[in-house]
Amino acid sequence: MIEKSKTAANLELLQDITRERNEHAQRLARFEFQAMKAELADGTAFTVANASASGAAPDSFSFAVDVLGLPQLNVPLSRIAWHAEPNSLPVIAILIEIRSPETVISLIALLHELHATPFARIVFITRHLDMVPFFDRYGFAVVCVGASHTNIAGPILLQRFGVRQIRNAKDGKTVWFDKTLPRTQLP
Amino acid sequence: MKDRMHLIIGRKNDLMTGPLQQFLSQASNKVRLGASASDHTADTTDIWFADHVSYLVYSSQVKGQTSRRHVLLRPGQEIDRQPVNLSLAFMLAQSNPDIITQFWALRSDLAEDLSTTHGVDVQYLGAGPNDPASRASLLVDASQMTIGHPDNPALTLPLRKANLARVARRYNLVCNEVQNADGHCVVALANSARSNQPRSSDRVLFILPHGAGLGHMSRCLAVAHQLGSMRCDFLVYNAAAYLVGAAGHHVIHRQSAISLNANSNDWRAWERVDLLHYITTNQPSAVIVDASNIDPFIAETLAHPAAVNTALIWIRREMWRKDRLRLANVGALHCDAIIIPDELAAFHENLASDVIATLENGFAKVHNVAPVTLPTVPLSRPKARKALGLGRGRICLISLGAWEDAQHEQHIATIITAAKKHKIKLVSVRSPLAGPSLQDKIFQQQITAYPMAQYFAAFDGVISTAGYNSFHELIHLYSGPVMFLPVDKRGLDDQVARARFAAQNSLADIIDPRHPTQSAEAFFLKLRNKQTIDRPASRENGAHIAARAIMHCIKTYQEGVND
């Protein structure tokens, strides 16, 4: 009887710790989201340390193609959102084609949605290397594809990360999707 | 054997696969190493089974009836030829007469014996001439899978996941087991395969790790700048990869397993595939890694027979914290050269010399070079201030890197109070990797710039952490007062030792944690008085010596010369 009580007490303690940890994680996500949103809003998100570095881009998308038999890599949910089971969320890619004010507005709306109701794990696709630090420091997966067409990048990101579709950050339109997946299954 | 596509199938960790691939590459570049019969593709013309076991296991599974089979008949680890006789008899009984199968022996006497006994054509896979006189020897123990130095028994390293053909580029290999006939054959083939290698391209690949600072990047950019006409590509795991692109280099940016929160084994599997893809596509002369260790995925990729023409060079900063030394002893075995940029503080108190002696260099050629810093054209004070948007008056730069060190917080308040008292403006520089932080609101102005050294003239004094680059740039390129706030609890290098060295030699101040107010007061008094510090000029920038060492390594590696 005494043993059982000890077990119950230990279980209760563990549950308390888990609940507190989750509460801390959610508070941290709020803090990170506010910081990320502020960077986008005040225009410092993509500030570079060297003016001549702005626009630097790789010549090509340097990944091996048609790789079979390797496990897909994890795509993190990021530090701006919290979810009890992040791995249950689908993986989508968001392409940032141009750095326009409209894109920034759309990005803020997207990130707000992700923070409030995590709906997917996102891989950000950029054309320029100077956009990488911003997404990287908030814990997102980010891939710089240079000028490569999404028809080339899409299948590679599908193999590596399980990306089923790529949407444009500016207007949300699907620019590539995994054709092996029925259209009805696209979220 | 021109215009043929060879596929080699061998057992895992079989030392023969590397030398065999190298041997076949001399006749045709189109050689792949397979793991199983499933690696057979439509363009495969020849399948090489590295031993009879591989043949017996996989030959029936290989599709493509037109591919010619080749089987190496190896004597085993005993002088007795009975096992290989039995194997050949069994294979002949099982063989399909419609498929051409060629048997090969690695010794001429064995080929003759087997041909006579079995009435089948067994060819001698001739090991070519060996030239042991021009190179030092290493002892190979094929049974124990180790390689060792004949004069230094302590220097014995595991051969698992290594490629003997790589090691044989620079060393004469000697099988130290009298009874191991197979070991002698493997070693003979490795030694003979070193000559007449196909040349690699005029291209090298730098690999930069994920990290909190930019030291690795700055060193490699400095060295790449000195490599002249050599094309320098960069595989960068640091988010500030754009700085490399801005310097005009081709950049492949990747995120680390830590950034992705990915399983490290899964992540390494993908990195191996991509790095091998890059190497087979571009045939770089060398892969140059500036990191605290050689990640296993790099070592394993370079050990692949398809990467045998690419030298592996490690740029390894010294002055490690003693509690982190175990991390440094990873990867030296795989390197052909190790370049060690000097530390100004390494001559101090025998502190660093203890550390350096502990690090392992494997069989690599070690090059010690002068401290490496990124070459910059310093701006005049007015131009530097204008470029950074700074006003008039006394200005002190505060550079704390990407880390927000809890240890520094207590000192920063003291520094701000002292600066106000002396009417000195504090301007912080934000790391290219860092986002907004609490520091933004604490200091009067924040700037973002890289490389920082070109703007030093704008400042009347500098407060900085003591990372390798910051330390050497400030000591060699700056004449104003400097106070170091070393990072003590994080990172791999011994920043406290560097800063202490500078303080004891009157090159800079170090904040005294017991009397921070007095430290800050004394430092800002120097700024008020426009004090300059007489510091030793750098005898030379080690970047061009490092570049020379790289070119030397590439030349000797390609020519198969041991110097």
Q: What is the pLDDT of residues A1-19, one digit of tens each?
A: 556 677 888 888 888 888 8
Q: Calculate the average pLDDT of chain B.
A: 83
Q: CB distance B243–A62 less than 8 Å?
A: no
- Cα dihedral A137, B430, A146, A123, rounded to 10, equals 10
CA–CA dist B277, B559 (Å, integer):
24
Q: CB distance A160–B269 less than 8 Å?
A: no
Q: CB distance B251–A142 less than 8 Å?
A: no
Closest partner residue to A132 (CB to CB) among B241, B448, B450 is B241
For B322-363, what is each residue's pLDDT tens digit?
666 555 556 777 899 999 998 887 755 545 445 444 567 778
E strands, B417-468, are 425-429, 445-447, 461-464
**Is the pLDDT score of B491 beyond 70?**
no
A121 near B CB under 8 A? no
Average pLDDT on B194-201 reads 64
A41 near B CB under 8 A? no
Closest partner residue to A76 (CB to CB) among B261, B269, B431 is B261
Smallest CA–CA distance, residue B111 to chain A, in Å, is 40
Q: CB distance A64–B276 less than 8 Å?
A: yes
Give Cα A100 to chain centroid, integer Å.
Answer: 20
Highest mean pLDDT (candidates A95-99, B172-176, B542-546): B542-546
Smallest CA–CA distance, residue A171 to chain B, in Å, is 27
Confidence band for A57, pLDDT divided at 50, 70 and 90: low
CB pairs under 8 A between A and B: 108
3-class secondary-structure state, position B427: strand
**Is the pLDDT score of B31 beyond 80?**
no
**Helix A101-116 vs helix A2-41: crossing angle, to nearest 10:** 170
Higher pLDDT, B323 or B172: B172
Confidence band for B232, pLDDT divided at 50, 70 and 90: very high
Q: Calculate the average pLDDT of chain A.
A: 86
Smallest CA–CA distance, residue B102 to chain A, in Å, is 31
Per-residue tokens: A41:
């809003």
Per-residue model confidence (pLDDT) at position A186:
47
Closest CA relative to residue A53, chosen from B560, B249, B30: B249
Strand order across the beta sheet in which B365-369 lies? B250-253, B231-236, B203-208, B286-290, B311-315, B337-341, B365-369
Long-range contacts formed by B354-358: CB under 8 A, 24+ apart:
B354/B322, B355/B318, B355/B319, B355/B320, B355/B322, B355/B325, B355/B494, B356/B318, B358/B325
A63 near B CB under 8 A? yes
* Mutation target vs A (from B255, B386, B429; most A CBs, 10 A cutoff): B255
CA dist B90 → B67, B76, B118 (Å): 21, 16, 11
Per-residue model confidence (pLDDT) at position A111:
96
For B72-99, what is each residue's pLDDT tens digit?
888 765 555 566 777 777 777 777 777 7
Q: CB distance B278–A62 less than 8 Å?
A: yes
3-class secondary-structure state, position B179: coil
B248 near A CB under 8 A? no
Per-residue model confidence (pLDDT) at position A157:
94
Specify whether the CB–CB gap between A114 and A81 falls below 8 A.
Answer: yes
Average pLDDT on B188-211 reads 80
First to last CA, chain A: 51
Q: CB distance B270–A35 less than 8 Å?
A: no
Contacts of B277 in chain A (CB under 8 A): 63-64
Closest CA relative to residue A135, chosen from A116, A110, A165: A110
Average pLDDT on B447-471 reads 91
**Is the pLDDT score of A122 beyond 70?**
yes
Smallest CA–CA distance, residue B428 to chain A, in Å, is 13
Per-residue model confidence (pLDDT) at position A124:
97
Residue ranges in B120-229 assigned as alpha helix (H): 164-170, 181-192, 215-225
Q: CB distance A62–B252 less than 8 Å?
A: yes
3-class secondary-structure state, position B332: helix
Per-residue model confidence (pLDDT) at position B233:
95
Per-residue tokens: B36:
């199983």
Q: CB distance B245–A58 less than 8 Å?
A: yes
Cβ within 8 Å of A, B 428-467: 430-436, 448-450
Q: CB distance B250–A58 less than 8 Å?
A: yes
Higher pLDDT, B297 or B58: B297
Closest CA relative to residue B469, chosen from B405, B547, B402: B402
Confidence band for B226, pLDDT divided at 50, 70 and 90: very high
Residue B542 C-beta-side C-alpha neighbours within 13 Å: 24
3-class secondary-structure state, position B379: coil
CATH code of the domain occupying B6-124: 3.40.50
CATH class of B203-375+542-559: alpha beta
Q: CB distance B245–A67 less than 8 Å?
A: no
Per-residue model confidence (pLDDT) at position B352:
46
First to last CA, chain B: 33
Per-residue model confidence (pLDDT) at position B213:
76
Q: Exposed/middle/buried for B154, CB within 10 Å: 0-12, 13-18, 19+?
A: exposed
Per-residue tokens: A34:
């506010």
CA–CA dist A131, A124 (Å, integer):
10
Higher pLDDT, B414 or A55: B414
Backbone angles phi, psi at B140, to 5 degrees: -105, 125
Confidence band for B35, pLDDT divided at 50, 70 and 90: low
Q: CB distance B263–A74 less than 8 Å?
A: yes
DSSP H helix total and E strand total for chain A:
4, 5
CATH class of B381-528: alpha beta
Confidence band for A187, pLDDT divided at 50, 70 and 90: very low
**Is the pLDDT score of A91 beyond 80?**
yes
Q: Exposed/middle/buried for B506, CB within 10 Å: 0-12, 13-18, 19+?
A: exposed
Closest partner residue to B242 (CB to CB) among A56, A137, A142 is A56
Query: ω before B382 within 30° of 0 (cis)?
Result: no
**Is the pLDDT score of B284 beyond 90?**
yes
**Is the pLDDT score of B135 beyond 80?**
no
Q: CB distance A58–B243 less than 8 Å?
A: no
Give the bridge partners for B68, in sequence order. Answer: B46
Confidence band for B381, pLDDT divided at 50, 70 and 90: very high
Q: CB distance B239–A136 less than 8 Å?
A: yes
Per-residue model confidence (pLDDT) at position B347:
59
Assessment of whether the complete model's pTM goes beyond 0.90? no
DSSP state of B322: G
Smallest CA–CA distance, residue A128 to chain B, in Å, is 8
For B501-554, what is each residue's pLDDT tens digit?
899 889 999 988 889 899 999 999 999 999 898 887 777 889 999 999 999 999
* Mutation target vs B (from A52, A73, A123; most B CBs, 10 A cutoff): A73
Per-residue tokens: B72:
């190496």
Confidence band for A71, pLDDT divided at 50, 70 and 90: very high
Higher pLDDT, A185 or B228: B228
Nearest residue of B to residue A128, measured between CA atoms? B242
Per-residue model confidence (pLDDT) at position B68:
86
Q: CB distance A137–B260 less than 8 Å?
A: no
For A163-179, what is each residue's pLDDT tens digit?
999 999 988 999 999 88
State what percent of residues in chain A have pLDDT above 70.
87
B262 near A CB under 8 A? yes
**Is the pLDDT score of B29 beyond 70?**
no
Its sign, for the CA torsion B428, A43, B391, B247, is: positive
Cβ within 8 Å of B, A 137-156: 137-139, 141-142, 144
Average pLDDT on B106-119 reads 86
